[in-house]
Amino acid sequence: MIKLTLAALLVAGLTFTGCSTDATTASRNLSVKADMFELERRIVFYNGITAQYILSIEGRCSVTDSGHKLAVTCKTGNNEFKKHQLGLSDNVTYFSEQLSDARVSVYHNRIIFKPQSIINNVDFRGANTLSELTPDSKD
């Protein structure tokens, strides 16, 4: 039974991974590289009516497009980041340009596993003293 299950998983895995092209695998790996702040990019916002650039952002940036809202997160230092959020409209669009070549595989998908991200960094905000937590006797 175990051999049959392993064989089925192997066939399913080969079926789905065998469907991608070199370009699809390379594109996905470039996106992962950019999301890990390993690529230099230029993101330009362009007004189609006035034919003018509105904003240009350069650096190690990750882009998240949510339809009419774009989030650009850039790494500016060792543990320093900036996040820009921009609204898109009928006449405002953007393009993202990779500024230098990058080596990626066309045979293997790059997967990032960060076990430290499983445990969240929790900030607790509450009262400073016990008297602020308990009701006043006058209430």
pLDDT value, residue 75: 97
Which parts of the chain have pLDDT scores under 50?
A: none
Task: Give the whole-angstrom CA distance, residue 137 versus residue 124.
Answer: 27
Enter the pTM of the model: 0.69
Task: Give the whole-angstrom CA distance, residue 71 versus residue 98.
Answer: 17
Enumerate the domain spans of the chain. 2-99
Q: Express each pLDDT in 32-63 by its tens digit.
A: 999 999 999 999 999 999 999 999 999 999 99
- Name the nearest CA neighbour of 38 among 102, 83, 113: 102
φ and ψ of 34, to 5 deg: -65, -40
